[in-house]
Structure 1
Amino acid sequence: MPRNAEQRQELERRVAAIQGWYHAIDLGDGVVTPGPFCMAEYVREYELPDDMSGMRALDVGCGNGFFALDLEKRGADEVVAVDVPSWTAKDWSPAYARDWVATRSAAERDAIDQRSLRAAFELAVGAAGQGRVRREEVSIYDLDPDRHGTFDLVLCASMLMHVRDPVLALHRMRAVCRDDGVLVISISSPPNLGDADGEPLARFVGSAKQCNFWQMSPACLRDMLQCCGFAPIGEGRRFVLADRPVEAVQAALRAAPVGMSGAAGRWLVVDGWLER
């Protein structure tokens, strides 16, 4: 049901009161959140199913909730959106995490976490959702089938570049992806990185002051997926995010779980390594 003028103005006021929007999300009636990432322009590059009826989906590193809402609109029965509980829990360098805590009081840190990590998501899902999206606070490294269940579709959109250990992150996503499910993933992948000879190259772009760590050639992402129990599907896609110097060129791939079904083939993560 369309909002009346008063309701629209109230929604605009609530959107404007939140600083640091990440996603541009259409909340209906002409209200769009002011995030710099307008993923509606690129979502087709992920080749998500048009009809997700009967599916349980996981959005890893959900941010403000654009992709979680998109999965819900496609008909998913349930969408679990996960992100870290606080800015200090992000995969910063140790020096940055230490400085973040040292220069802000506990009250200031709590206010930032509530505003940037929770309030924006809750507002977006409350305004545009259909009641089938829920958010959980958990690190990608702590995804656990016993706690979170398993999923028909796991989506990791432009998030792998932000983790210090992408291999372990992929291991944990494999643990919660059903054997007949699919992983959809993207990462920063500039065309001058391994394209000429198809080399599986990763480039470290991190520093002590931010959490953009990795760029990968498509061959690198494919090999990493295979290492972690996934088989890439098709050739994937390359697309360009406008006005994003570090993340500009993205590689998106779909991958199917392989080689890990059944008790005999079950893998465990022990001290960061896969063991049978």
Structure 2
Amino acid sequence: MMLTSVESKLDLDAYFQEQMTRPKRYGGQLSPPFQKALEDYHAGITEEDCDFYHTIDLGDGRLRTGAWDLRGHEEVYLGCCDVTGKRVIEAGPASGFLSAYMASKGADLVVFDLPFGGGPELVPFAEANMGELAASGRQSMKRLRNSWWYTKRKLGFQACAIYGDIYDPPKDIGRFDISVFGAILLHLSNPFRALQALSAMTNDTLIVTDVWNAFSTETGAGANSLRKAHMIFAPSALPSGIVHWWGLSPEAICHMLERLGFPNTTVTKHVPKNMPSAPSMFTVVARRAAR
């Protein structure tokens, strides 16, 4: 499906269905007509059409509650990186809480998520009905995408959105100063490939935040960082385990990023203060080696 400046309306469902079978996929999404089509497509959604992953103050006295409440924790979650004036790509923006924050700080923001009709990668459980879970995942992803657009409309922040394959992102979206992975690597079957794909288009900084699992500290006294670098496959039981591929140690992420040319890393541990469950998290900020 060719995109031209004279098109007044695009069939986005047909576009994404076609793109899934094309060798060069998901191109042209940053064009103004495509972004306008995305905005129009989601213009009529209501809160009832959404699933909110983040707790968000919608600015009119109403608070939508999600599983993750990062209010007041944004700066720490992003490794205290300054995004002002930076071109930033955010992978897996969920309901847009961090998107709104980065846009408010002056980032030139592009968010990247699963394509229309796509669903999360599912960990294969022999005892589960994978077909039903896949269908449920696709519907949940649609409602989550709706929540991002609803949040954007209510809060009025500026950002572009593109959709595609995290392992093979569109080739025409340009380069970025900063790439952000906000607690999504644990949901991917191949986190290294995802880091590799976005690092190839990142000039300076990668920010990776993930959950700090108890087993991340199970290392012997005096163990070096490479010995601490490990990934635990499918660490969670059903139902959450269906989308929990890996438990990653921060050292594992640092090791991957070093191989990708981002050896200058800092790691911070933190806990979102507004979450009663008090999940332990870590953030890796990695900077590209000087050339």
1:30-69 aligned within 5 A = 30-45=61-76, 46-50=78-82, 52-53=84-85, 55-69=86-100
Q: Compared with structure 1, are the counterparts of its residues 194 and 87 closer, same or farther at alpha carbon in structure 2 (3 Å cutoff)? A: farther
Larger relative contact order (CA 8 Å, sep ≥ 6): 2
**Cα distance, 1:229 vs structure 2:** 2.2
Q: Tell me the residue number matched to 2:196.
A: 171
Q: CA deviation at 1:86?
A: 4.9
Mapped pair 1:143 → 2:166: no
Decide whether the 8 Å contact of 2:118 with 2:141 is kept in 1. no
Write the mapping of 1:90-129 to structure 2, written as runs, cut at 5 A.
Answer: 90-93=120-123, 98-100=130-132, 112-114=140-142, 116-129=143-156
How many equivalent residue pairs? Answer: 233
Query: Are 2:54 and 1:29 aligned?
Result: no
In the alignment, is the contact (CA less than 8 A) between 2:49 and 2:146 conserved in 1? yes
Separation in 1, partners of 2:277, 2:169: 29
Written as runs of structure 1 = structure 2, the 5 A alignment for 1:247-258 is 248-258=279-289
> Any idea what SS the aligned residue of 1:122 has?
helix
Percentage of matched positions with identical amino acids: 20
Q: Deviations over 1:248-269 (max 9, x none)?
A: 221101111237x6xxxxxxxx
- Between Structure 1 and Structure 2, the one with more strand by share is 1
How far apart, CA to CA, are the structure 2 residues paired with 1:257 and 1:164?
25
Structure 1: unaligned runs, 5 residues or longer = 1-12, 262-276
SS in structure 2 opposite 1:41? coil
Q: CA deviation at 1:157?
A: 0.8
Normalising by structure 1, report the TM-score: 0.73
Deviation string 1:147-179 (CA, Å, 9 cap, x unpaired) is 22111111111111110111111101111212x
In 2, the alpha carbon distance for the partners of 1:49 and 1:110 equals 33
Letter in 2 for 1:188: V
After TM superposition, give the deviation of residue 211 of structure 1 in Å. 1.0
CA deviation after TM superposition for structure 1 residue 117, in Å: 2.9
Report the CA distance shift for 1:19/1:252 in structure 2 as closer, same or farther (over 3 A).
Answer: same
Q: Which residue of 2 aligns with 1:190?
A: 213
Unpaired runs of at least 5, structure 2: 1-44
Aligned-CA RMSD value: 2.9
TM-score normalized by the length of structure 2: 0.70
